[in-house]
Chains A and B, each alone.
Chain A
Amino acid sequence: MVNIKVQVEGLSVWYRDKQILRDICILIPEKKITAVMGPSGCGKTTFLKSLNRLIEIHEGFKVYGKVLLDGKNIYDPDVDPMDIRARIGMVFQKPNPFPHLSIYDNVVVGLKLRGITDKKYLDRIVRETLEKVGLWDEVKDRLRSSAAKLSGGQQQRLCIARALALNPEVLLLDEPTSALDPLAAAKIENLLVDLKKEYTIIIVTHNIQQAARISDYAAFLYMGRLIEFGETKDIFTNPKNELTEKYVEGKIG
């Protein structure tokens, strides 16, 4: 019996007069990796950004339906989106460390901007999170140098560390390896499998093999609709929907 961490109920998202997501219902289990797959333009990224209300910083989007985090709708008027985004970390498609900040500050910028200045505490967080993402040994001697000088794979792991520093419950990843070379991508994949002991992970990917390798549950989105959702092994070996079957066989974009 698994716990449900995030429950999406009838989620529809419009961008101006175009409907991006149509009535999505999905249950995301706690401390598992859930992969959201689908061809480009199917609404995966929009779906992910609806889960931490990041969608709201863009103009023209309207969100209907509910997203329950531990049973509480994050779109309720009494909920502060800042709290939600702190509890749900996010990693983006293109590694986007803040180039004007040092490696050290990239990790703790979220804490510092919350007014946490205790240096010992920050030092500890930097070390712990960088160790967690396997970056500590590579950068411990140049924590004060610019994050822009790291390689793509290192930058992406730094971005994961930046999200983990806030000690989130859920980690959203938007095609985190698509801009990386295969070796760096494999490192990230292994890291995610490690991280699921502590975090609920939702990863958007259009790489079918990646979803098969690392996820416990998988969802297939197609043209804004959730076509199928279930345990990854079922989705891949015994898909119920014809579209899903075609997709996992690589016959749809």
Chain B
Amino acid sequence: MRPSLRSLTDKFYTAFAIFAFLILIIPLLHIILSIIINGIKRLDLELITSPPKSLLGSGGGILHAIVGTAMVVFIAMLISLPLGFFVGLYLAEFAKGKFAHFLRTLISVLAGIPSIIAGVFAYTVIVVVYGFSALAGGFALGIIAIPYVARSTEEALGSVPMEIKEAGFSLGIERWKVVLFIDVGYAKSRIIAGFLLALARVIGETAPLLITILGGINIPSNIFSPANAIPLVIYQYALSPFGIWHNIAWSAALLLMIIVLVINLGVRYYLKIKAIY
């Protein structure tokens, strides 16, 4: 009788695994489908080319939020790309011993901080000086992106084979030239992929923006003016009591999801075709 009990146990766990997988995948499919179905209605040209209209009229778009997101993400990249890139490069090529360990731990800590906290930090150093602004939001998102950029750069440079580095040094070139033109050149596509994934990561980030850029319906005129952003609009409109705004929230969510998924899928594809060496 023992074997049959054992195979029964095995069957039970197989059933449980299938059940668990369905529990995981069905809601996720539901999320994606409901965003497509609810969002497709208003995903039109007006949505991305016009600013919001007054409450009672139908139509209107989220141009202000698109401009705001572009601005905020641009500032975030301006901060995080150089910082993250050079820290990653330092870790991959130069750092040794305890200091390297310390720096890596610091990056892990930074990566694990809830994003809202980055917003609080931006509040304490930017908002109190310049007020609620695109700059403050960009700063917060930049802080969030740094560990992603640093890690992906370090990993990309770590993947450069020793033979390639040796070949560079054997040409009698200074170290910085070998690193910059041979190693970085070799790992270029993976480094850029890391940049793009960091961008996709922060573009949908909402919590830190909530307490730094104020929102509102105006198209920001410069980095010191309050701004809105696509994810923030989704939040604001979702909480409103108006069906028209709910529709815009769904469409903005669809737009955001498309942007994020296109970047993610694009990077995967790009790395696959670049994987010739």
Q: Does A89 contact B (CB under 8 A)?
A: yes
The answer to whether A57 has its CB under 8 Å from any CB of chain B is yes
Q: Cβ of A109: which chain B residues have Cβ within 8 Å of it? A: 171, 181-182
When the two chains form their complex, are residues A57 and B165 in contact, meaning their CB atoms are under 8 A apart?
yes
Given A57-B165, A148-B277, A52 and B186 contact (CB-CB distance below 8 Å): no
Chain B residue numbers with a CB within 8 Å of A213 are none
The answer to whether A159 and B173 touch (CB under 8 A), given A99-B277, A101-B185, is no
Q: Residues 125-148 of chain A: 1 if any B CB is under 8 Å from the residue's CB, otherwise 0?
A: 000000000000000000000101
Among B167, B169, B170, B177, the residue within 8 A (CB) of A98 is B167
Question: Which residue of the partner chain B has the closest CB to A172?
Answer: B170
Most-contacted residue by chain A among B164, B166, B172 (CB, 10 A): B172
Specify the chain A residue showing the minimal Cβ separation from B171. Answer: A110
B residues in contact with A84, CB < 8 Å = 172
* B166, A92: Cβ atoms closer than 8 Å: yes
B276 at the interface (CB under 8 A from A): yes
Residues of chain B lying within 8 A (CB to CB) of residue A87: 172
- Identify whether the interface residues of B are mostly helix, strand, loop, or mixed: helix
Q: How far is the CB of B180 from chain A (nearest CB, A)?
A: 9
Q: Which of A76-94 contact B (CB under 8 A)?
A: 81-87, 89-90, 92, 94
Assess the B182–A98 pair: CB atoms within 8 A.
Answer: yes
Let me know if A162 is at the binding interface, CB within 8 A.
Answer: yes
Interface residues on A, range: 20 to 34
Asked whether any CB of chain B lies closer than 8 Å to the CB of A96, the reply is yes
Count of A-B contacts judged by CB separation below 8 Å: 71
Give A52 to B177 CA distance when docked, in angstroms. Answer: 18
Residues of A within 8 A of B173 (CB): 82, 85, 110, 113-114
Contact check, B167 vs A96: say whether CB atoms are below 8 A apart. Answer: yes
- Option from B161, B171, B185 in Cβ contact (under 8 Å) with A100: B185
CB of A164 to closest CB in B, whole Å:
11
Residues of chain B from 149 to 202 with CB closer than 8 A to chain A in the complex? 161, 163-174, 177, 181-182, 185-186, 188
Most buried by B among A98, A100, A162: A100
Question: Would A96 and B163 be within 8 Å (CB), given that A113-B177, A113-B181, A148-B276 are in contact?
Answer: yes
A96 contacts B277, CB within 8 Å? Answer: no
Contact across chains for A83 and B172 when beta carbons are under 8 A apart: yes
Interface size on B, residues (CB 8 A): 21
Q: Which residue of B lies closest to A85 (CB)?
A: B172
Contacts of A89 in B (CB 8 A): 170
Q: Which of the residues B164, B170, B182 comes within 8 Å of A52, measured between beta carbons?
A: B170
Q: Is the pair A100, B186 in contact by a Cβ cutoff of 8 Å?
A: yes
Tell me the complex Cα distance, A148–B166, Å.
Answer: 17
Q: How far is the CB of A138 from chain B (nearest CB, A)?
A: 20
Residues of A86-124 contacting chain B, CB below 8 A: 86-87, 89-90, 92, 94, 96-101, 109-110, 113-114
Rounded to whole angstroms, the CA-CA distance of A209 and B16 in the bound complex is 65
Residues of A within 8 A of B166 (CB): 54, 57, 90, 92, 96
Nearest A residue to B169 via CB reads A57
Give bound CA distance, A70 to B32, whole Å.
72
* Contact pattern, B 62-83, Cβ under 8 Å of A = 1, otherwise 0: 0000000000000000000000
Residues of A bordering B, CB below 8 Å:
52, 54, 57, 81-87, 89-90, 92, 94, 96-101, 109-110, 113-114, 146, 148, 159, 162-163, 166
User: What are some 9 contacts across the A-B interface (CB < 8 A)?
Assistant: A90-B166, A96-B161, A96-B164, A98-B185, A99-B277, A110-B172, A110-B173, A148-B276, A148-B277
- Closest A-B pairs by Cβ, 4 of them: A86-B172, A85-B172, A110-B171, A99-B277
- 17 more CB-based (< 8 A) A-B contacts, given A54-B166, A114-B173: A54-B169, A57-B166, A84-B172, A85-B173, A90-B166, A90-B167, A92-B166, A96-B164, A96-B167, A97-B167, A98-B164, A98-B182, A109-B171, A110-B171, A110-B173, A113-B173, A113-B177
